[in-house]
Amino acid sequence: MIEPIANFPGRLGLQQRVLPSYRAPLFDLLAGACTGGMSLFAGLPRPEESIATTDQLHVARYALARNIHILKGPLYLCYQKGILDWLAAWNPDALIMEANPRYISTPAAIRWMKKKNRPVIGWGLGVPPSGSPPIFFKIRGRWRGLTRLSFLKQFDALVAYSQRGADEYAALGFPSSRIFVAPNAMTARPTRLMPARPEHISKQPHILFVGRLQARKRVDNLLHACAALPETARPQLTIVGDGPERPALEQLARQVYPAAQFTGARHGVELAPYFTGADLFVLPGTGGLAVQEAMSYGLPVIVAKGDGTQDNLVREGNGWQIPDDDLSALTVTIQQALRDIPRLRRMGAESYRIVAEEINIEKMAAVFVETLNRLV
């Protein structure tokens, strides 16, 4: 029996730099668990970021921040004008904020809450190792660690997207007893039954990719990998999505894998036939949001290793994690996956179990409520 989410007996404030469309269901679910309601403070991204945002929340309140973007690249900073006015107007009993030191209005918001003796929870990916050149590694790495720890110590607790992120926070020096893990979830617990698929395939197996067509998704590698397979083992390949790389990818497909089908962008219920009709979901690059949705349809998955958010999601029992931008590893893994269809079906069933029982927005919201109730 699935336990319902507990309630937080108070009023919650939640800060985000922007409100991505895929986060709205989580925030509405969390707002519904707060007896005093929840207000979300978020602004708009830079135009070049191509983030699909929304201002539509059904349960949570939405307060628009004025994001002032300062510099770019590794020097990027964001100041959210109006955050103290929002806090004064909403007057939350607890506050959840992105644990990102690039958001320079965060310390003032924390001080506002501390003056009222109210807790602030930081939410983040973790502290990935620095990519500094060796000659600067020790000095810059030590300075970065100390400044990041000083920033994080302002929070009463941290919620990490993954166990890897939690371990990174602890290794930096933040008390492990005040670190919680809410595995990053994009979809709700599936209510539909897992699609029935045959143990044996009489025709070509079907590989599916769903996502924005941009360079970091490495769809070019997926085309090359399918083309490198023996002719008798080549799959049907469907690429669902749109983006700046689509013309180049379609041209590449005509050259190396003409059988690939490009459908353009599809959303919501339009995606159901594609997930139901596939045998394997492949995300050859980083930054994909459709992996969990594919798993909710009982699909095994191949994904590129990224920031750790996939670690809890993709395991030996339901898929493969491969190095990012490694064509050889992608080709070998696809061939291995399609060689044993009965095993592929068992892995798909495990994918469905993981999103139904372990990693979904209901579980994610429950961790936030548990953390709040421990602090208040």
With 60 as the cut, is the pLDDT of residue 108 above it? yes
Domains of the chain: 12-185+360-375 (3.40.50.2000), 206-357 (3.40.50.2000)
- State how far the Cα of 196 lies from the Cα of 177, in Å rounded to an integer: 43
What's the sign of the alpha-carbon dihedral 172, 174, 175, 176?
A: negative
With 60 as the cut, is the pLDDT of residue 138 above it? no
Question: Tokens 């495990």 appear where?
Answer: 350
| Short-list 224, 36, 27, CA closest to 118 | 36
With 60 as the cut, is the pLDDT of residue 1 above it? no
Q: What is the pLDDT of residue 217?
A: 93
Nearest 10 degrees: Cα torsion 240, 236, 311, 19? 0
With 80 as the cut, is the pLDDT of residue 128 above it? no
pLDDT digits (tens, 9 = 90+) for 289-332: 799 999 999 999 999 987 667 888 999 999 999 998 899 999 99
- State how far the Cα of 232 lies from the Cα of 255, in Å rounded to an integer: 19
Give the DSSP H/E element, type plus range, for residue 266.
Answer: none
Q: What is the pLDDT of residue 50?
A: 77
Q: What is the pLDDT of residue 175?
A: 97
| Short-list 58, 51, 60, CA closest to 17 | 51
With 60 as the cut, is the pLDDT of residue 137 above it? no
pLDDT digits (tens, 9 = 90+) for 206-249: 999 999 999 999 999 999 999 999 999 999 999 999 999 999 99
Angle of CA points 44, 46, 48, to nearest 5°:
140
With 50 as the cut, is the pLDDT of residue 133 above it? no
Integer angstrom CA distances of residue 353 from 21, 83, 309, 331: 25, 40, 18, 27
pLDDT digits (tens, 9 = 90+) for 153-197: 999 999 999 999 999 999 999 999 999 999 999 999 999 999 999
Top-confidence residue, 70 or 129: 70
Residue 39 gets the label, from left (phi > 0), alpha (psi -120 to 50) or beta, of beta
With 70 as the cut, is the pLDDT of residue 142 above it? no
Angle of CA points 186, 187, 192, to nearest 5°:
165
Tokens linked to 271: 């995606």
The DSSP bridge partners found for residue 210 are 240
